[in-house]
Amino acid sequence: MAPRFLFLFSALLATATAAFAQCKFATDEVDPFDSTRLVTTQPMPVGLLIPSLYETVDGPKIIEEAQVAFSFTESDQDSLEAFFLTIAAPEYSYLKIESGQNVIIAFSDSSAVPLLNFPDQGTFDKNTNMRIYQHTCLVPLDLFYRMSNFGIVGIRIRYKQKKRTIMLTPEQQEALMEAVRCAAEAVGLAPVSP
């Protein structure tokens, strides 16, 4: 009886470990000063490949159109618990963007939802000779559930001078849904069920 129980337990543990091992995190740590926990998935490329402004002998260096990461933060000092979608997008020129609902995500169910965006002014990247803009978007809980069940087919960023649309491939849509689910599992909000 004991060997059979041990075998079943080890099989169950291996299955659970294998399921969780698919989740890769860039950060899963607690700040020692204020006990704030931050869980962030590995950044993943989205969109197509684009030429950068960095010239090589063979022509311009080819880079990803954007990268995204999904994160969750919580604190036991206050009631802070929030999900964030961070988008890092290289741009060819200096662009202005204000805080507000300037990032819109389009779902596979044909709906589009604006996100509250906390932008920066861009940072010059010497590897691409372009400015990298980081858009940190607050994700409400109801939208989090949609992101875990429906693929995001596109992301639109509305700068003051132009609009930029990043379309995701089916593989990228699935990878982003999996990243959302992984973040939820890591903080104990999974399995995801609205």
Distance (Å, rounded) from C-alpha 159 to C-alpha 92? 13
The pTM of the full predicted model, rounded to 2 decimals, is 0.82
pLDDT by position in tens, the chain (length 194) = 443 333 333 333 333 333 444 677 887 788 887 778 888 899 999 999 999 999 999 999 999 999 999 998 887 777 778 899 999 999 999 998 888 999 999 999 999 999 999 878 899 999 999 999 999 999 998 899 899 889 999 999 999 989 999 999 999 999 999 999 988 888 887 765 55
Alpha carbon distance 152, 168 (integer Å): 7
Q: Which two tokens stand for residue 104?
A: 């819109």
Element (H, E) at 60: strand 59-75
How far apart CA 163 and CA 150 sit, in angstroms, is 24
CA angle 114, 117, 123 (to 5 degrees): 135
Paired tokens of 51 = 């030429």
CA distance 138 to 151: 18
